[in-house]
Chains A and B, each alone.
Chain A
Amino acid sequence: MRIFPLMGAVAAGLVVTTAEIVGQANLNGAGATFPNPIYTKWFDGYAKRTGVKINYQSISSGGGIRQFTQGTVDFGASDGPMTDTQIAAVQGNVAHIPTVLGAVVLTYNLPGAGTAKLKLDGPTIVDIFLGKITKWNDSRLAALNPGIKLPASDLLVVRRSDGSGTTYVFVDYLAKVSAEWRSRVGVNTAVNWPVGLGGKGNEGVTQQVKQLEGSIGYVELVYALANKLSYASVINPAGKPVDPTLEAVTAAAASAKLPATTDFRVSITNAPGAQAYPIASFTWLLVKADNGDATKGKQLKDFLVWMVGAEAQKMAADLGYAPLPGDVSGLVTERIKALKVAGRVT
């Protein structure tokens, strides 16, 4: 039994020596998986610059809204804006702060297609996710992609199993291009999916598509890029097939034309511009409009100021997220400045 003091000493030693930077996170946030790569990069960079540690758990937009409403986190993150009911549940004490723009892409696993890019349009995508298109060599897919040899295999749909802002953006687009989708399935962070395998988070869906030959799913662009997955170009309302490039996403945001009093809860899907990518969206941090905690309120505000600045926005662009366009950025800065800490604007 003499081994036990030894084990205890070893354990204690481990705990003591492994903590060079001791100390808990200053702020806790949770929410969207869509911007998780850039958020973790930002928080890591911000901690190195200022020492303020921000812990972020990527649990999906639905989770972010819920945790923020319940007060179990200091801030939430979501790509689906809070509904009026949800805002009422926090007595209106919430500000939607846009951080970056992202694109939801249709990513697929079709080795036979090689490097050729699939083209899809709104109605076809709706039919895929309604379960009406079950084989890759369906006539509608063949019609849109004459140059690609489509196999006769099953088309396996992957979608989200959790409450997701990415889902919100995606079905928001689907509802705009299809009345059937709007009435049958609806728009929300979690919907009653007619078909498909459920993946948890953008991470889960990307994983599934990566592993499953013949699958198609919808994820944020950065996930497809980071994992070298193919993604389709989508035909926009102007009739042009558009790739989800930074320019195309920014073009979608340009159509937003926000008034000065905006609360930033706008949808930019199916945007009218000729160059615009149709499935684009802002993603927001949900923070208290009036933060009762003086320290945390100040820390959060300082971070947001850094976030909207050139350095952080460039980090986003390097990773594949479209930075906030100039005019939007100006409005966001104003909103951040107006955030109250303990009742006062500091």
Chain B
Amino acid sequence: MLRPICQIKITQQPTSDLPNRNSVFQFSFVNNIEVSSSWKNLTDTAKIKFPKNVFINFADGTKRKLSLKDTPQFINGRQSNNDAPFVLRGDKIEIQASYIYIDRNGKEIVPEPDTIFSGYIVKVLNKMPIELDCEDNMYQLKQIFLDKMSWAAADISDVIGYILKGTNFSFTTGGATMSLGNFRIENQTPAEVLEYLRKTFHVESYFRGDVLHCSPFVYYPDTNNNPPHLLQFQKNIISDEMQYTRADDVKVGVKAYSISKVELATQTFDGRMKNKATRLEVFAYKKNNGEVDFKDLTGGIKAGIDEGSFGNVVTLFYADGNTLDGLKQFAKARLNRLYYEGFRGTFTTFGLPFINHGDQVQFIDNVLPERNGTYFVKSVTRTYGMGGYRQKVEIDLRIDGVLDKTDLQKGI
């Protein structure tokens, strides 16, 4: 039998009014925790609801009910070194969860718990029971305003390196380089810059620990080699809201275009090499056998393409498409995210195996083997509380039969 355990650690942060606010509180009980984590949300969030009646044991033997009005001198049996409010916006919080289980020899095993959330308290709901809203390290990137900066031709690493300057965070692009062209930062927080990159350049960002992942990939080449988590329908998948979509149910095409600058062989009157801007355009679609094919639409050539036969044509601008090959890679990656034969939706499993977004999950169904398949994980919502410890996992694109090793090594 698995018995869920949790540990919530709140580290007070000093403020200008309360410079001695630096106590650490730990709780091993909670009414409910919900942690949402995804590469598409920029910020991982957590909601914690404490039990209605939490009593503090004071050193003198008295016991008092905890409320937000309290300025507890003593908590967990030890004296706090300040009389500051219990929790404030900006306090650090870490949530760990796991299961205690009995091994085959009858011995109780307490494994090293998984850190399911690490971040900051952003909102303290002023009601009973006490509720806390939390955000991950992205909270820090929402608190600082950047100095003005501009680049004539910026690469993604230039911009991310600049916005993280002065913080304790590092970053990775998964080896990707991406030209952002003319780029300017003005009256923005780093988080706003990341949101702008997401909207304009399809660059997704998220924190994993203290490392900011920011890349046109969402599934990084280094983690794509990790083995998938095995999940069995009749064993550790509790319930699911997944629907199987056949390839011919959804017919999607991706039209991607970019502006490319080409240097000509001729010179200007003042001896400079002449440039010319051209529009590159490709149409990516899947053939009946599932392979991705392209039609080069550069110059308006549309031979062999009947866009009307596609249920949905998504048109996308690619800022870094200086070559046709680069544009094709972009279109293929987008198409693979939109169009595959397999499951879409969410399933609920126990707290183990510990699944992160970006991981791979492999479904095994001994009753209906057609449901077998390997998928990427788009988001995970973890809940812990009276109902136990659960993970609600949203799956994304299918790997087996859709993507090959080369695709995975390049990053998706």
Are chains A and B native binding partners rather than an unrelated pairing? Answer: no
Could you tell me which A residues sit within 8 Å of B by CB distance?
none
Could you tell me which B residues sit within 8 Å of A by CB distance?
none
